[in-house]
Amino acid sequence: MHDLTPIISTVTAAFLASFVEVVEAFTIVLAVGVTRSWRPALTGTALALVVLAALVLAFGPLLALVPIATLQFVVGVLLILFGMRWLRKAILRSVGVIALHDEDAAFSKETAELNRQASDKRADYLAGLAAFKAVLLEGVEVVFIVIAVGAAHGQTGYASLGALAALILVTLIGLVVHRPLARVPENALKFVVGLMLTSFGIFWTGEGIGAEWPGADLALLAIFAVIALASFAIVRWMRGTDLTPDRRAAR
Protein backbone atom coordinates (compact mmCIF):
# COMPACT_ATOMS: atom_id res chain seq x y z
CA MET A 1 0.00 0.00 0.00
CA HIS A 2 2.92 2.32 0.80
CA ASP A 3 4.24 2.09 -2.76
CA LEU A 4 0.76 2.43 -4.24
CA THR A 5 -0.08 5.65 -2.36
CA PRO A 6 1.47 8.09 -4.88
CA ILE A 7 0.06 6.13 -7.84
CA ILE A 8 -3.46 6.05 -6.42
CA SER A 9 -3.22 9.74 -5.52
CA THR A 10 -1.97 10.64 -9.00
CA VAL A 11 -4.67 8.69 -10.83
CA THR A 12 -7.41 10.03 -8.54
CA ALA A 13 -6.31 13.66 -8.86
CA ALA A 14 -6.04 13.43 -12.65
CA PHE A 15 -9.39 11.64 -12.92
CA LEU A 16 -11.37 14.05 -10.74
CA ALA A 17 -9.82 17.21 -12.22
CA SER A 18 -10.30 15.93 -15.77
CA PHE A 19 -13.87 14.86 -15.02
CA VAL A 20 -14.81 18.40 -13.99
CA GLU A 21 -13.16 19.97 -17.04
CA VAL A 22 -14.60 17.42 -19.48
CA VAL A 23 -18.12 17.97 -18.11
CA GLU A 24 -17.81 21.70 -18.79
CA ALA A 25 -16.47 21.14 -22.32
CA PHE A 26 -19.12 18.50 -23.01
CA THR A 27 -21.89 20.99 -22.21
CA ILE A 28 -20.73 23.35 -25.00
CA VAL A 29 -20.12 20.56 -27.52
CA LEU A 30 -23.57 19.14 -26.80
CA ALA A 31 -25.15 22.57 -27.28
CA VAL A 32 -23.44 22.90 -30.66
CA GLY A 33 -24.45 19.40 -31.75
CA VAL A 34 -28.09 19.70 -30.69
CA THR A 35 -28.64 23.30 -31.82
CA ARG A 36 -26.64 23.38 -35.05
CA SER A 37 -25.40 19.94 -36.13
CA TRP A 38 -22.92 17.32 -34.99
CA ARG A 39 -20.55 17.97 -37.88
CA PRO A 40 -19.17 21.32 -36.59
CA ALA A 41 -19.36 20.04 -33.01
CA LEU A 42 -17.23 16.98 -33.74
CA THR A 43 -14.93 18.85 -36.14
CA GLY A 44 -14.18 21.54 -33.56
CA THR A 45 -13.66 18.91 -30.86
CA ALA A 46 -11.32 16.86 -33.06
CA LEU A 47 -9.20 19.88 -33.99
CA ALA A 48 -8.90 20.90 -30.34
CA LEU A 49 -7.80 17.38 -29.38
CA VAL A 50 -5.14 17.48 -32.12
CA VAL A 51 -3.78 20.77 -30.73
CA LEU A 52 -3.76 19.34 -27.19
CA ALA A 53 -1.95 16.22 -28.38
CA ALA A 54 0.64 18.41 -30.09
CA LEU A 55 1.19 20.31 -26.84
CA VAL A 56 1.78 17.08 -24.96
CA LEU A 57 4.18 15.79 -27.61
CA ALA A 58 6.03 19.10 -27.70
CA PHE A 59 6.43 19.77 -23.98
CA GLY A 60 6.36 16.25 -22.53
CA PRO A 61 9.84 15.19 -23.69
CA LEU A 62 11.33 18.53 -22.58
CA LEU A 63 10.57 17.68 -18.95
CA ALA A 64 13.06 14.81 -19.10
CA LEU A 65 15.81 17.39 -19.62
CA VAL A 66 15.05 19.20 -16.37
CA PRO A 67 16.83 18.03 -13.18
CA ILE A 68 14.34 16.17 -10.98
CA ALA A 69 14.80 18.47 -7.95
CA THR A 70 14.20 21.58 -10.07
CA LEU A 71 11.20 19.94 -11.75
CA GLN A 72 9.68 18.98 -8.40
CA PHE A 73 10.13 22.48 -7.02
CA VAL A 74 8.73 24.31 -10.07
CA VAL A 75 5.83 21.90 -10.52
CA GLY A 76 5.16 21.98 -6.78
CA VAL A 77 4.89 25.77 -6.69
CA LEU A 78 2.64 25.80 -9.76
CA LEU A 79 0.40 23.13 -8.24
CA ILE A 80 0.08 25.11 -5.01
CA LEU A 81 -1.01 28.19 -6.97
CA PHE A 82 -3.31 26.17 -9.23
CA GLY A 83 -4.79 24.12 -6.38
CA MET A 84 -5.38 27.16 -4.18
CA ARG A 85 -7.28 28.82 -7.04
CA TRP A 86 -9.61 25.81 -7.29
CA LEU A 87 -9.90 25.60 -3.50
CA ARG A 88 -10.66 29.31 -3.09
CA LYS A 89 -13.48 29.21 -5.62
CA ALA A 90 -14.90 26.02 -4.13
CA ILE A 91 -14.90 27.54 -0.64
CA LEU A 92 -16.57 30.74 -1.85
CA ARG A 93 -19.21 28.73 -3.69
CA SER A 94 -19.78 26.56 -0.61
CA VAL A 95 -20.67 29.60 1.50
CA GLY A 96 -22.70 31.32 -1.24
CA VAL A 97 -20.35 34.23 -1.91
CA ILE A 98 -20.23 33.28 -5.60
CA ALA A 99 -22.84 31.26 -7.46
CA LEU A 100 -22.50 27.55 -8.12
CA HIS A 101 -21.63 26.59 -11.68
CA ASP A 102 -24.85 25.57 -13.47
CA GLU A 103 -24.43 23.31 -16.51
CA ASP A 104 -28.10 23.74 -17.49
CA ALA A 105 -27.65 27.52 -17.48
CA ALA A 106 -24.42 27.23 -19.48
CA PHE A 107 -26.18 24.98 -21.99
CA SER A 108 -29.10 27.41 -22.33
CA LYS A 109 -26.77 30.37 -22.76
CA GLU A 110 -24.73 28.64 -25.47
CA THR A 111 -27.89 27.42 -27.21
CA ALA A 112 -29.32 30.94 -27.27
CA GLU A 113 -26.08 32.29 -28.73
CA LEU A 114 -26.03 29.61 -31.44
CA ASN A 115 -29.66 30.31 -32.32
CA ARG A 116 -28.84 34.00 -32.61
CA GLN A 117 -26.09 33.14 -35.10
CA ALA A 118 -28.31 30.79 -37.15
CA SER A 119 -28.91 33.36 -39.91
CA ASP A 120 -25.20 34.11 -40.25
CA LYS A 121 -23.53 32.59 -43.31
CA ARG A 122 -20.69 31.54 -41.05
CA ALA A 123 -23.04 29.72 -38.64
CA ASP A 124 -21.34 26.33 -39.03
CA TYR A 125 -17.90 27.90 -38.67
CA LEU A 126 -18.92 29.81 -35.54
CA ALA A 127 -20.52 26.68 -34.06
CA GLY A 128 -17.38 24.65 -34.73
CA LEU A 129 -15.26 27.44 -33.26
CA ALA A 130 -17.36 27.38 -30.07
CA ALA A 131 -16.75 23.64 -29.69
CA PHE A 132 -13.05 24.07 -30.49
CA LYS A 133 -12.57 26.84 -27.90
CA ALA A 134 -14.45 24.95 -25.19
CA VAL A 135 -12.48 21.74 -25.63
CA LEU A 136 -9.16 23.55 -26.03
CA LEU A 137 -9.57 25.82 -22.99
CA GLU A 138 -10.74 23.04 -20.68
CA GLY A 139 -8.26 20.62 -22.25
CA VAL A 140 -5.28 22.87 -21.55
CA GLU A 141 -6.08 22.66 -17.84
CA VAL A 142 -6.34 18.87 -18.12
CA VAL A 143 -2.97 18.67 -19.88
CA PHE A 144 -1.36 20.88 -17.24
CA ILE A 145 -2.78 18.79 -14.40
CA VAL A 146 -1.78 15.49 -16.03
CA ILE A 147 1.77 16.66 -16.65
CA ALA A 148 2.08 18.37 -13.27
CA VAL A 149 0.79 15.55 -11.05
CA GLY A 150 2.61 12.91 -13.06
CA ALA A 151 5.93 14.41 -14.04
CA ALA A 152 7.50 14.96 -10.63
CA HIS A 153 7.52 11.23 -9.83
CA GLY A 154 7.58 9.83 -13.35
CA GLN A 155 3.88 8.90 -13.25
CA THR A 156 2.62 10.79 -16.29
CA GLY A 157 1.33 7.51 -17.73
CA TYR A 158 -0.83 6.87 -14.66
CA ALA A 159 -2.09 10.47 -14.69
CA SER A 160 -2.96 10.11 -18.38
CA LEU A 161 -4.95 6.96 -17.63
CA GLY A 162 -6.93 8.86 -15.00
CA ALA A 163 -7.69 11.66 -17.46
CA LEU A 164 -8.62 9.18 -20.21
CA ALA A 165 -10.97 7.34 -17.84
CA ALA A 166 -12.71 10.64 -17.04
CA LEU A 167 -13.09 11.46 -20.75
CA ILE A 168 -14.55 8.03 -21.52
CA LEU A 169 -16.92 8.12 -18.54
CA VAL A 170 -18.30 11.59 -19.33
CA THR A 171 -18.69 10.69 -23.01
CA LEU A 172 -20.56 7.47 -22.22
CA ILE A 173 -22.85 9.19 -19.72
CA GLY A 174 -23.45 12.02 -22.20
CA LEU A 175 -24.37 9.59 -24.97
CA VAL A 176 -26.87 7.88 -22.68
CA VAL A 177 -28.57 10.93 -21.12
CA HIS A 178 -28.05 13.25 -24.12
CA ARG A 179 -28.26 16.33 -21.91
CA PRO A 180 -25.94 18.49 -19.76
CA LEU A 181 -24.59 16.67 -16.71
CA ALA A 182 -26.14 19.14 -14.31
CA ARG A 183 -26.45 16.69 -11.41
CA VAL A 184 -22.71 16.17 -11.11
CA PRO A 185 -21.60 17.57 -7.70
CA GLU A 186 -19.15 19.82 -9.49
CA ASN A 187 -18.27 22.11 -6.58
CA ALA A 188 -17.62 19.17 -4.28
CA LEU A 189 -15.32 17.67 -6.91
CA LYS A 190 -13.52 21.00 -7.34
CA PHE A 191 -13.12 21.21 -3.56
CA VAL A 192 -11.48 17.77 -3.45
CA VAL A 193 -9.31 18.49 -6.49
CA GLY A 194 -8.18 21.78 -4.95
CA LEU A 195 -7.18 19.91 -1.80
CA MET A 196 -5.32 17.25 -3.77
CA LEU A 197 -3.45 19.63 -6.06
CA THR A 198 -2.42 21.83 -3.14
CA SER A 199 -1.25 18.76 -1.22
CA PHE A 200 0.77 17.53 -4.19
CA GLY A 201 2.24 21.00 -4.56
CA ILE A 202 3.38 21.24 -0.93
CA PHE A 203 4.76 17.70 -1.00
CA TRP A 204 6.78 18.18 -4.18
CA THR A 205 7.97 21.66 -3.30
CA GLY A 206 9.37 20.17 -0.11
CA GLU A 207 11.08 17.37 -2.04
CA GLY A 208 12.42 19.90 -4.52
CA ILE A 209 14.25 21.81 -1.74
CA GLY A 210 15.55 18.58 -0.21
CA ALA A 211 13.07 18.10 2.65
CA GLU A 212 12.75 14.60 4.12
CA TRP A 213 9.05 13.97 4.71
CA PRO A 214 8.23 11.72 7.70
CA GLY A 215 6.74 8.51 6.35
CA ALA A 216 7.95 9.31 2.83
CA ASP A 217 5.00 9.14 0.39
CA LEU A 218 2.51 8.59 3.21
CA ALA A 219 3.18 12.18 4.27
CA LEU A 220 1.03 13.19 1.29
CA LEU A 221 -2.04 11.84 3.10
CA ALA A 222 -1.18 13.79 6.24
CA ILE A 223 -0.73 17.00 4.24
CA PHE A 224 -4.09 16.42 2.57
CA ALA A 225 -5.76 15.90 5.96
CA VAL A 226 -4.28 19.10 7.42
CA ILE A 227 -5.33 21.22 4.43
CA ALA A 228 -8.80 19.64 4.41
CA LEU A 229 -9.32 20.40 8.12
CA ALA A 230 -8.14 23.98 7.62
CA SER A 231 -10.42 24.42 4.60
CA PHE A 232 -13.48 23.05 6.38
CA ALA A 233 -12.72 25.31 9.33
CA ILE A 234 -12.61 28.30 6.97
CA VAL A 235 -15.95 27.27 5.42
CA ARG A 236 -17.52 26.94 8.87
CA TRP A 237 -16.13 30.31 9.97
CA MET A 238 -17.34 32.05 6.81
CA ARG A 239 -20.81 30.57 7.18
CA GLY A 240 -20.87 31.76 10.76
CA THR A 241 -19.98 35.31 9.72
CA ASP A 242 -22.62 35.24 6.94
CA LEU A 243 -20.42 36.63 4.19
CA THR A 244 -23.13 36.53 1.53
CA PRO A 245 -23.08 39.21 -1.20
CA ASP A 246 -26.08 41.08 0.31
CA ARG A 247 -24.62 41.12 3.82
CA ARG A 248 -21.20 42.25 2.54
CA ALA A 249 -22.84 45.04 0.52
CA ALA A 250 -24.72 46.16 3.63
CA ARG A 251 -21.47 46.42 5.52
Return the closest-CA partner of residue 202 out of 213, 191, 192, 193. 213
SS3 content of the chain, % helix, strand, coil (to 5): 80, 0, 20
- pLDDT value at residue 247: 45
pLDDT tens for 120-169 read: 678 888 888 989 999 998 888 888 888 888 776 677 788 888 888 988 88
pLDDT tens for 47-58 read: 998 998 888 777
Q: Is the pLDDT of residue 225 over 50?
A: yes
Q: How far apart are the first and last CA of the chain?
A: 51
CB contact at 8 A, 25 and 134: yes
Q: Is the pLDDT of residue 175 over 90?
A: no
| pLDDT (mean) for 56-80 | 80
Query: What mean pLDDT, rounded, does the chain reach?
Result: 82
C-alpha distances out from residue 58 to 61, 109, 135, Å: 7, 35, 19
Q: What is the pTM of this model?
A: 0.76
- pLDDT value at residue 249: 44
CB contact at 8 A, 48 and 127: no
Return the closest-CA partner of residue 79 out of 188, 205, 217. 205
- pLDDT value at residue 230: 93
- pLDDT value at residue 114: 80
C-alpha distances out from residue 22 to 43, 136, 143, 241, Å: 17, 10, 12, 35
